[in-house]
Homo-oligomer: A and B are copies of this chain.
Amino acid sequence: MSPTIKDVAKYAGVGLGTASRVLNGGGSVNKEKRDKVMEAVKALNYTPNKMASKLRKNETRNIALLVPIINHPFFAEFAYYVEDEADKFGYSVILVSSQQRVEKEADIIKRIRRREVDGAVFVTHFAHLESELEGCPIVSLDRIFGEGIPYVTSDNYTATVKAVKYLMERGCKKIGYLGSKPIVKSEVSERERAYKDVMEQTGNQNLIVNEVIPHGGEQALAEEFLEKFPDIDGVFVSGYSMAQIFRKLAEKKNKRIPEDIQLILYDGVFSDWDRGEEVTCVEQPVEKMARAVVDILVKKIHGEDVEKRMEFPTKFIVGNTTL
């Protein structure tokens, strides 16, 4: 068995409390005894057992990160910064891909109650019992839960207005909206609202396909969109996967982008692995948003007051999918 702090104390010839104090820096300790303890630690090759101290201190120093699916550029990028930021505060992050399964979302709540994690970051758009969340240390991205749950978002409305107007400026006459609608209350819905407002103001028709779909349902939706609106010459696409699938489909149908259809994506350009093509897009400040989410969560775990809503400005990037 590995040595315990008891062994260290005994070896050093001091009391248990003293050993603990030198190990944790709590309270001052006689230099001589301190040295003896350090010596004992070395001699016994002692490592503290965190399970014990966590139980005692009633904190796990873990947070859960719930994403729909980790192998998606936006969520992976987000996860990267969440981990980096959490690490700064001494928290580890437990990764959970919800895969849109409602049990997995509910499971996170259980993990908090079971003291497996101190709190959670929610990046999902699926449903579950809101009542269960009461008082839970949770922070969400985009999604609006209710009073107790703060969230971080981007300027969905204004950015979409700008994007749609840009398509018009570039000559588009028939602009569609393609997206997968959140099943829950979410700031993402502001995108559709913005689109509709612009269409109304400019006396244009709404050409929308925006549905609640299961994971993997993008293909069917993109097809539906192109069938419904075959003569479209511009499209605002909400979501990275959807845009990728739309582009593939358009190619297959011999619709050239941007010559035949101009495209703007909400959900930006990412790292190197993104093949470096420049999509015209609304880019979210993923890093800042991820760090903010963690900062808020940590504050919340410590019982501090936090902002209920935090909005970050996006960047409009002109690429080669518009003329």
- Candidates B47, B49, B62, B99; contact of A94 at CB < 8 Å: B62
Assess the A79–B83 pair: CB atoms within 8 A: no
Q: Are A114 and B276 in contact (CB under 8 A)?
A: no
Near B by CB (< 8 A), chain A positions 48-84 give 48-52, 54-55, 58, 60, 62, 65, 69-73, 76-77, 79-80, 83-84
| Nearest CB of B to A123, in Å | 14
Flag A251-262 by CB within 8 Å of B: 1 or 0 each: 000000000000
**Interface hits, A110-127 → B, CB 8 Å:** 110-111, 113-116
- A55 and B54 CA atoms in complex are apart in Å by 9
Whole-angstrom distance between the alpha carbons of A58 and B80 in the complex? 30
Interface string of A15-49 (1 = CB under 8 A from B): 00000000000000000000000000000000111
Number of copies: 2
On whether the beta carbons of A245 and B272 are closer than 8 Å, the reply is: yes
A75's nearest neighbour on chain B, judged by CB, is: B76
B51 touches A60 (CB 8 A): yes
- Chain B proximity mask over A267-293: 1 for CB below 8 Å, otherwise 0: 000111111110000000000000000
A52 partner, pick from B55, B94, B218, beta carbons under 8 A: B55
A186 close to B (CB within 8 Å): no
Of residues 224 through 248 on chain A, the ones whose CB sits less than 8 Å from some CB of chain B are 240-241, 244-245, 247-248
User: How many A residues are at the interface, by size bracket?
Assistant: 35 or more
Residue with the highest number of chain B CB atoms closer than 10 Å, among A92, A110, A218: A92
A244 to B73, CA, bound (A): 15
Contact of A80 among B54, B71, B113, B116 (CB under 8 A): B71
Q: Is the CB of A93 within 8 A of B92?
A: no
Q: Please determine whether A70 and B52 come into contact, CB atoms closer than 8 angstroms.
A: no
The answer to whether B110 and A83 have CB atoms under 8 Å apart is no
How far, in whole Å, are A245 and B92 apart by their CA atoms in the complex? 32
Write the residues of chain A forming the contact surface with B, with a CB cutoff of 8 angstroms. Answer: 2, 47-52, 54-55, 58, 60, 62, 65, 69-73, 76-77, 79-80, 83-84, 92-97, 99, 110-111, 113-116, 218, 240-241, 244-245, 247-248, 270-277
Given contacts A70-B76, A71-B80, A247-B276, 11 further A-B contacts (CB under 8 A): A47-B110, A49-B115, A51-B116, A55-B55, A70-B80, A71-B79, A72-B76, A73-B273, A95-B95, A218-B272, A275-B275
